[in-house]
Chain A
Amino acid sequence: MDLSAISPVLLIASLMVSATPILLAAIGELVVEKSGVLNLGVEGMMITGAISGFAIAVETQNPLLGLVAAALAGAILSFIFGFLTQVLLSNQVATGLALTLFGLGFSSLIGKSYSGVKPPASARLDIPLLSDIPILGPVLFRHDLMVYVSVAIVAGVWIMLKFTRAGLVLRAVGENHDAAHALGYKVVRIRLLAIMFGGACAGLGGAYLSLIRVPQWTEGMTAGAGWIALALVVFASWKPWRVLLGAYLFGGVTVLQLNLQAAGLAIPVEYLSMSPYLITIIVLVIMSSDRNRTALNAPASLGRTFHASH
């Protein structure tokens, strides 16, 4: 065993990369759930974003355009969900699951001709001077653009929810859609916007996987990341910074266990492999043990269908 082989600096840098897809998807889903909608289609939107972003990036040889396309594709797909659940009042759980199935199938269909294609390289943002700071440089200032974008989105969502009128309205809709409706807020429209924001974020998360983290297209490459993002929102008790913490914790444990193995640590691999999931479950149990606190945090109208009868 040689623990000195693990460089903490590189470890932190790569856990940020590893966590970014689920972070993006989870922060999007947080906004959706804050508006009172439960979209279980995160996995489907992620994988659709992954292939759309990949395809556009390959066709245009421009990774940035690919990311934009991925966000658009995620938003469009989520709009289908939004239309079905908000306008046609279909069941959110069933529709969300259907969206995941559709996304997986649809992505393999359009992805057929993109298997084995190399995407254009995404530029790494080497911020001059700052990236030369020892330790902090490699950890904080040598990432690709999307790592910063994801953190910026978290900060943006936090500010929006906490300090702005729009955030207050969104939360009102999520807490009590009847009251919000009575006050004259357009519940359906607000929810549709939130759903599309969530879709765009999930699409970005997927494209991050196919364009930057792996970078290649393979069928089913999200491999359950969308479900982890969903769990992460509950884990974070619907608070933006906790989503960041949770995602980095999850990414950190995932990367750390691989590094510990490579360094030859004598802990059985099974325990290392399950540790990210185990920690998620433990946190969920601790959180749910106090019923009042959980109830306080979850949006009161989460998953309930809204129908304006008058």
Chain B
Amino acid sequence: MTPIKTILAGAALALGLTSAAFAEGKVKAGYIFVGPVGDFGWTYQHDQGRKAVEAEFGDKVETTFVESVPEGADAERVMTQMALGGADIIFATSFGYMDSVLKVAKKFPKVKFEHATGYKRADNVSTYSARFYQGRAVIGTIAGRMTKTNKIGYIASFPIPEVIRGINSAYIHAKKVNPDVEFKIVWVYTWFDPAKEADAATALIEQGVDVIMQHTDSPAAMTIAEEKGIMAFGQASDMSKFGPNAQLTSIIDNWGPYYIARVGAVMDGSWSSTDTWDGIKEGMVKFAPYSDKVPADVRAEAEALKKAIADGSYHPFTGPLNKQDGSPWLKEGEVADDGTLAGMNFYVEGIEGDIPQ
């Protein structure tokens, strides 16, 4: 049972940190994760980033983490314990930790907090995220080209701007290369539940979907896609070993450089509250190698899109675009501003179904 597991983990961590708190000159970085570090998706990539920090700074840094922390009161407790235990900087790596981060940050003004994918900041709270929608534009293009049934399945987690943005971006670009394309979206209301993710993939495949995208953390859907012989895109991490034939490519979250920069900033005292939103250009969004199934012309198209996004000559949300209800959103050539993107709560025209509110 996760809550109790984390209570124990939290208690053990508090003990461990207090005893080590007097170690000299070391910067202590704490990480709280929403899933297990062995999820081979979202949390796994954050943990890779944590390891990159250790590799970069060696003895000068000490990192700790608590995994499978539910979003809510538990997160607050775990972060409080980390702060009491002498952490200098705490990375909270899930959207749902947002209010907990701000509460704890208020109590510990000297501790720096970094909240992933959120939008609320304070003097000691930074936010950071990757422009995953850029990656979604690329895989949307590939999906539109590769689908034969013209039905693309999308396993979505929670109706937050981050996820909605991904759906819109993928849809716009799939539609652009394949006007007949149709998206089937399933909300599973979890970040990590392999059985449920697998069931969702099965339901989608039974309804004729031949390409699956996911915005959940485990490779379960990839495994099902492999078994049923359809195509899929990995999420957050390279999932090709779960679907050697199924995976076309994968968006990879590359947190390492950011984590190194931020921990480094704490060390030299230059840390300040910032809002970072990096994408393909900065290398925060990367891709797994294409599978052999992706033909050369599709690869070339995807590469060209990546390049255009990276050098800024193309923005994935460029008008003319209408909202789902047909009302105009962006005029011809107009580009979405970051504020709208960060709070996106509507589907673009053409997507069927409602966003759960």
**Which of A's residues lie within 8 Å of B, judged by CB?**
1, 5-7, 10-11, 14, 17-18, 21, 43, 97, 100-101, 104-105, 108, 111-112, 115-116, 118, 121, 209, 213-216, 218-225, 227, 254-255, 258-259, 261-264, 266, 268-270, 273
- Cα-based distance from A105 to B224 in the complex (angstroms): 26
Q: Say if the beta carbon of B48 comes within 8 Å of chain A.
A: no
Contact, CB under 8 Å: B38 / A223: no
Contact, CB under 8 Å: B203 / A218: no
A sample of 29 cross-chain residue pairs with beta-carbon separation below 8 angstroms, ordered by A number, consists of: A5-B207, A6-B207, A14-B206, A17-B202, A18-B199, A100-B1, A101-B1, A108-B38, A214-B195, A214-B220, A214-B223, A216-B219, A216-B223, A218-B36, A218-B38, A219-B39, A220-B2, A221-B194, A223-B193, A254-B196, A255-B202, A259-B203, A261-B203, A262-B207, A266-B353, A268-B354, A268-B356, A273-B187, A273-B188
Contact, CB under 8 Å: B4 / A101: yes
- Cα-based distance from A209 to B199 in the complex (angstroms): 11
For B1, B185, B357, the residue with the greatest tally of chain A CB atoms inside 10 Å of its CB is B1
Contacts of B144-188 to chain A: CB distance below 8 A: 153, 184-188
- Cα-based distance from A118 to B195 in the complex (angstroms): 16
Q: Is the interface of A mostly helix, strand, loop or mixed?
A: helix
- Cα-based distance from A227 to B4 in the complex (angstroms): 14
Q: Say if the beta carbon of B57 comes within 8 Å of chain A.
A: no
- Cα-based distance from A268 to B184 in the complex (angstroms): 15
Contact, CB under 8 Å: B195 / A209: yes
- Cα-based distance from A17 to B203 in the complex (angstroms): 12
**Contact flags B203-222 to A (C-beta < 8 A → 1, else 0):** 11011110000000011100
Pick from B8, B36, B199, B357: contact of A220, CB under 8 Å: B36
- Cα-based distance from A227 to B3 in the complex (angstroms): 14
Contact, CB under 8 Å: A104 / B1: yes
Q: Say if the beta carbon of B120 comes within 8 Å of chain A.
A: no
Contact, CB under 8 Å: B356 / A215: no
Contact, CB under 8 Å: A101 / B189: no
A147 to chain B, nearest CB (A): 14
Pick from A121, A213, A219: contact of B195, CB under 8 Å: A213
Contact, CB under 8 Å: B5 / A115: no
Contact, CB under 8 Å: A270 / B356: yes
New contact pairs (20) apart from A43-B1, A259-B203, A262-B207, CB-CB < 8 Å: A1-B352, A17-B202, A101-B5, A104-B5, A108-B38, A115-B40, A118-B241, A118-B242, A214-B198, A216-B242, A218-B36, A218-B218, A219-B39, A222-B195, A227-B1, A255-B203, A258-B186, A259-B206, A268-B356, A269-B189
- Cα-based distance from A270 to B38 in the complex (angstroms): 29
**Contact flags B12-35 to A (C-beta < 8 A → 1, else 0):** 000000000000000000000000
Contact A261/B187 with A101-B8, A216-B219, A218-B220 known, Cβ cut-off 8 Å: yes
Query: What residues of A have a CB within 8 angstroms of the CB of B209 in the complex?
Result: 262
- Cα-based distance from A254 to B189 in the complex (angstroms): 12
Contact A115/B220 with A6-B207, A262-B203 known, Cβ cut-off 8 Å: no
Kindly state the interface size class of chain B when it binds its partner.
35 or more
Contact, CB under 8 Å: B220 / A216: yes
**CB closest chain-A residue, reference B2:** A220
**CB closest chain-A residue, reference B159:** A269
Q: Is the interface of B mostly helix, strand, loop or mixed?
A: mixed
Q: Say if the beta carbon of B291 comes within 8 Å of chain A.
A: no
**CB closest chain-B residue, reference A269:** B356
Query: What residues of A have a CB within 8 angstroms of the CB of B207 in the complex?
Result: 5-6, 259, 262-263
Contact, CB under 8 Å: B1 / A264: no
Query: What residues of A have a CB within 8 angstroms of the CB of B348 in the complex?
Result: none
Q: Say if the beta carbon of B227 comes within 8 Å of chain A.
A: yes
Contact, CB under 8 Å: B199 / A254: yes
Contact, CB under 8 Å: A219 / B36: yes
Contact, CB under 8 Å: B203 / A258: yes
A119 to chain B, nearest CB (A): 9
B347 to chain A, nearest CB (A): 12
Query: What residues of B have a CB within 8 angstroms of the CB of A17 in the complex?
Result: 202
For the complex of A and B, list the 6 residue pairs with the smallest distance between their C-beta atoms, beginning with the closest. A219-B36, A258-B203, A269-B356, A115-B38, A223-B193, A10-B206
Query: What residues of A have a CB within 8 angstroms of the CB of B352 in the complex?
Result: 1, 264
B18 to chain A, nearest CB (A): 23
Pick from B153, B193, B203, B208: contact of A14, CB under 8 Å: B203
Query: What residues of B have a CB within 8 angstroms of the CB of A5 in the complex?
Result: 207-208
- Cα-based distance from A69 to B1 in the complex (angstroms): 23
- Cα-based distance from A96 to B40 in the complex (angstroms): 30
B238 to chain A, nearest CB (A): 10
- Cα-based distance from A10 to B228 in the complex (angstroms): 14
Query: What residues of B have a CB within 8 angstroms of the CB of A121 in the complex?
Result: 227
- Cα-based distance from A255 to B196 in the complex (angstroms): 9
Contact, CB under 8 Å: B189 / A111: no
Contact, CB under 8 Å: B241 / A116: yes
- Cα-based distance from A215 to B220 in the complex (angstroms): 8
Query: What residues of A have a CB within 8 angstroms of the CB of B227 in the complex?
Result: 121, 215
A140 to chain B, nearest CB (A): 17
Contact, CB under 8 Å: A223 / B195: yes
Query: What residues of B have a CB within 8 angstroms of the CB of A18 in the complex?
Result: 195, 199
Query: What residues of A have a CB within 8 angstroms of the CB of B203 in the complex?
Result: 14, 255, 258-259, 261-262
- Cα-based distance from A227 to B1 in the complex (angstroms): 9
Pick from B36, B184, B194, B206: contact of A7, CB under 8 Å: B206
Query: What residues of A have a CB within 8 angstroms of the CB of B4 in the complex?
Result: 97, 101
Q: Say if the beta carbon of B111 comes within 8 Å of chain A.
A: no
Query: What residues of A have a CB within 8 angstroms of the CB of B345 in the complex?
Result: none
Q: Say if the beta carbon of B200 comes within 8 Å of chain A.
A: yes
**CB closest chain-A residue, reference B193:** A223
Query: What residues of A have a CB within 8 angstroms of the CB of B2 in the complex?
Result: 220
- Cα-based distance from A273 to B218 in the complex (angstroms): 19
Pick from A118, A213, A259, A273: contact of B198, CB under 8 Å: A213
Q: Say if the beta carbon of B322 comes within 8 Å of chain A.
A: no
Query: What residues of A have a CB within 8 angstroms of the CB of B185 in the complex?
Result: 261-262
